[in-house]
Chains A and B, each alone.
Chain A
Amino acid sequence: MSTTSIGLIGIVVLVALFIIRMPIAFAMAAVGFVGFSLVTSFKTGLAVLPRDIFEQLTSYSISAIPMFILMGYYAFSAGLGTRLYDAAYKILGHVRGGLAIASIFACAAFGAICGSATATAATMGKLAIPAMKKYGYDDTLSTGVIASAGTLGILIPPSVIFLIYGFMTEQSVGKLFISGIVPGIVLAICMSMAVYLMCLKNPGLGPKGEKSSFKVKFKAAVAVLDVLGLFVVVIGGLLLGFFTPTQAGGVGAAGAVLVGLLRRELTWKAFIHNTLEAVRTSVMILTIIACATVFGKFMTVARIPFVVSDWVASLSVPHFVTMGVIIGIYLLGGCFIDAIPLIILTIPILFPIVLSLGYDPIWFGVIIVLVTCMGVITPPVGVNVYVIKGIAREVPLETIFKGIFPFLLAIIVTAVILMFFPMLATLLPSLVE
């Protein structure tokens, strides 16, 4: 049997294991291990298993994820999230789905400091989901909106995906970063419209509140100055390059503890409880990431991404069809493989094709990131959905995936808009030199 067919069978087996309720993480590690052993040897498969898990679990860049989760939990237990959303409710509550829309823009703001879709969803989810629940929002909407809006973290700079794409294709990382800003705003608007339309059709999803007077709004805004202060320190610190993401998460967590102590809202018991909760959520996410690496190595050694890319290169169809096929591949691939290895393995072969078809490399970078945004929320391997599930444990996975759907459409609409108006991505970068 050829290595490629072992790889394809591996994908089928993985999906089958998901269906019969093997935990996602362990299914990926198991299939990855067996597959790697079949392609190479049992001895080599055994060597890969501890090494990949060990490497992921000792990686500094990944340590940003638990730090932001910790920040989220501390901020939550210090009552920051509740007050923030009380204020948002007083200011935007009279709009249908107003809190969900506020959350999208909060994710966008957070995305401006954080390069990862996962961390954005984790932090915002911890704050936003309980608050939306309090105001009677439906679980489908509240979890779906955060899982999806979290993807703004990789579209709005800084962004891990743009960084990797820049290195792979020799494009200016600075220009790529800038190119994500306008599409990021467009996507945030499209998502907000999705919320509004959903709530128009089914008002029970995000109930309308009473309209508050200006005085009440102003008072509510003043009450959250400390939250804004913390946000400004974390956001500003990262934007000005004062902190790495891990550092920013740690500073944010410390700030939240400090505010909680000053306002006497944080007890010792709550501190310990929330530390443990942060550990549990981090464990769930990082176990998946570590085990996904083992599966990714199997796909790599089975040469699946190479085979697919070679096939595209051999197509002879009109340009836009080829582009459609390429986007389709990333969409499909994003369902099973983590975005980063997928890009690293396919870009070398697909990028020259894209260039030869006459597409702009910066524009294609934005498209890749948009498609990656879809990948992190589509089943069965949709990391952001799992992150949200880790935070809102009582909500069934099915409900979250259902909640994703309108926002998936919003991402597709954004991609179509970019197809017709490529300058939305390319104009800003062309202005800087």
Chain B
Amino acid sequence: FSAPIELKWSNYFPVPAMQSKICEQFIRDIEAKTQGKVKFSYFPAGTLLSATKIYDGVAQGIADIGFSNISYTLGRFKQTETLDLPLGFPNAWVANHVANDFYKKFKPKEWDKVHVIAMHTSPVNVIMTASKPVAKMSDLKGMTIRGQGYIGEVVGALGAVPRAIATPETYDAVLKKVIDGIYIPMETLRAFRFGEVTKHITECWPIGQVYTFYLVMNKDTWNKLPADVQKVFNEYPFEDKLAVTWNDIDIDGKQLGMEKKINFIQLSPVEAQKWIKAADTVVEKYVKNMVSQGYKESEVRGWIKYARERIDYWLKKQREAKIKSSTGPDDVRIK
């Protein structure tokens, strides 16, 4: 009998958020399955590492495990940023599976400094506004919308002015009309209480853009784990559980919005084509940028093509499994 291996788990989400609850569930499950060989210290709400510092902090060993998203560290995960582009992800369930396929297929070397436990993604971003409804792309002209990284790029491509604000400060910014709206998933209606300050939601899933998340472990920590503990981590269904959770919380967020009588707007087919065309300029910009940094154009386009193929594949799977989502085509979307 030896003392348990202590692991520090770092997450930037507030304690009541589902993203935090699922980390706690992982912790309980792994502790039980390793029969006390592993013991976690859990540091939520950015108390050990803030959102922007989680990857670097895990690589440095400040925390052993970290949960964050790549938009906070623009430029660090250049190849994986493909997944942050508006590729037409219909919903969280599909996007989560695509992200893991993408990672496994290409194994981008930007993740070499850590052990990747699972990739995952947020639900699809929608436009939430407080001042006026957005039914057409032209309505966005002159509006200031919160979004950072490639999410901000899309805001700009659609004609609005992007503004990078930390998520917890966004509530106040909308309340005080410092910004007109937010480009973010519907789950935040509950998690960040945006349901209190926004009135209209434009479900722009035809351009389907998500935030790409990661769950990673310090490499030394991983290498030092006994084989049986590594086995528990390898066999635990992180990916499936994350996909289901992200999908469920967005449905919950949407239902809260319905209770609060928020005005939900779908894009007309003609309008959707306009949005897709505008969003495509961001994809092209990404390709150009990567080429200028020495990547082969065919290679970069290959990543995008692969991601789009997997979107089609997993949407088909979703239909077969009769899983409902908050966003996406009529037959999979809750209304």
Contact = CB atoms under 8 A, between A and B. Distances in A.
B3 to A, nearest CB: 12
Contact of A345 (B8, B47, B61, B173): B47
| Size category, B interface | 20 to 34
Contact of B172 (A163, A240, A341): A163
A43 B177 contact: no
17 contacts: A51-B56, A51-B57, A55-B52, A158-B172, A163-B171, A163-B172, A167-B171, A167-B193, A170-B193, A172-B193, A173-B175, A174-B175, A241-B176, A244-B173, A301-B41, A301-B43, A344-B46
Contacts of B175: 173-174, 241
A303 B171 CA distance: 30
Contact of A168 (B16, B52, B172): B16
B48 A44 contact: no
B193 A44 contact: no
A40 B7 CA distance: 11
A300 B52 CA distance: 18
A79 to B, nearest CB: 31
A163 B171 CA distance: 9
Given A43-B61, A167-B168, A174-B196, 12 more contacts: A47-B61, A51-B57, A163-B168, A163-B172, A164-B168, A168-B14, A173-B175, A240-B176, A240-B177, A242-B176, A344-B47, A347-B15
A57 B291 CA distance: 34
A265 B199 CA distance: 49
Contact of B14 (A167, A242, A243, A300): A167
A41 interface: yes
A297 B48 contact: yes
Contacts of B57: 47, 51
B178 interface: yes
Contacts of B43: 300-301
Interface string A277-312: 000000000000000000001001101000000000
Interface in B191-213: 192-193, 196
B53 interface: yes
Nearest to A301: B48
Interface string A17-53: 0000000000000000000000011011001100100
A168 B15 contact: yes
Contacts of B48: 297, 300-301
B169 interface: yes
Contacts, number: 84
Contact of B61 (A41, A168, A173, A347): A41
A61 B61 contact: no
B193 A238 contact: no
A167 B61 contact: no
Interface in A321-355: 341, 344-345, 347-348
Nearest to A36: B62
Interface string B290-317: 0000000000000000000000000000
B60 interface: yes
B34 interface: no
Q: Tell me which of B14, B41, B44 has the highest count of chain A C-beta atoms within 10 A of its own C-beta.
A: B14
Contact of A47 (B15, B46, B60, B176): B60
Contact of A173 (B14, B15, B166, B171): B171
Interface in B1-24: 8, 14-16
A241 B44 contact: no
Given A55-B53, A174-B175, A48 B62 contact: yes
Interface string B125-163: 000000000000000000000000000000000000000
Contacts of B16: 168-170
B45 interface: yes
A40 B41 contact: no
Contacts of B176: 158, 238, 240-242, 244
A169 B16 CA distance: 7
Interface in A39-87: 40-41, 43-44, 47-48, 51, 55, 61
Given A167-B192, A168-B15, A51 B178 contact: no
B169 A47 contact: no
B89 to A, nearest CB: 27
Contacts of A164: 168
A375 interface: no
The 7 closest A-B CB pairs, nearest first, are: A241-B176, A241-B177, A47-B60, A348-B15, A44-B61, A344-B45, A167-B14
B194 to A, nearest CB: 11
Contacts of B60: 43-44, 47, 51
A61 B172 CA distance: 12
B318 interface: no
Contacts of A300: 43, 47-48
B178 A301 contact: no
B62 A40 contact: yes
A303 B15 contact: no
B177 A303 contact: no
